[in-house]
Amino acid sequence: MTQVWQVQVAAATKEFATELAKVAVEARLAAGAQVVGPVTSVFWHLGEFGTGEEWQVLLKTTDDHYKELEKLLVDRHEWTNPEITAVPFAAGLAPYFDWVERTTRE
C-alpha cells in the first residue's frame, strides 16, 4: 500500500487558503483538503515576536506526489518562506487510503 501523508500549509486569509486547496486538488496532487481556521499563531519572524490570524490547509496526498505538491504550494504561495510541513499517517482506514492513492493517480 502507498504511504499516505497529511501536508499542512498556513495562509493569511481563508480565500487564499481555499485557492491553494483547490489548485492542489484540481491538479490531483492531493486527493482532498480541508481549510481550517482562523487560528491564532504566535511566532518569531525577522527577529521580531508577533501574533497573527492564519488559516490552515490540510491536504491528503501520497509519498509519490509530495515533492510536486510542495513545489506547487511554494510556487503559488504569497509568502517567501511559507510554513509547509508533512507527516505520514501511521494508521488509518484502508478504503480511505486506497481512495487517496486512486484519486491522485487518475
What is the identity of the amino acid at 29? L
pLDDT class of 106 with cuts at 50, 70, 90: confident
Res 1: pLDDT: 66
Residue 3 in contact with residue 62, Cβ under 8 Å? yes
pLDDT band at 2 (very low <50, low <70, confident <90, very high): confident
CB 38 within 8 A of CB 14: yes
Query: What would the CATH number be for the domain defined by 4-99?
Result: 3.30.70.120
Distance of CA 57 to the CA centre of its chain: 5
Question: Cα(51)–Cα(97) distance, rounded to whole angstroms?
Answer: 36
Rounded to an integer, the average pLDDT of 11-30 is: 98
Beta bridge partners of 84: 9
Average predicted confidence (pLDDT) for the chain: 96
Euclidean distance between the first and the last CA atom of the chain, given in angstroms as a whole number: 16
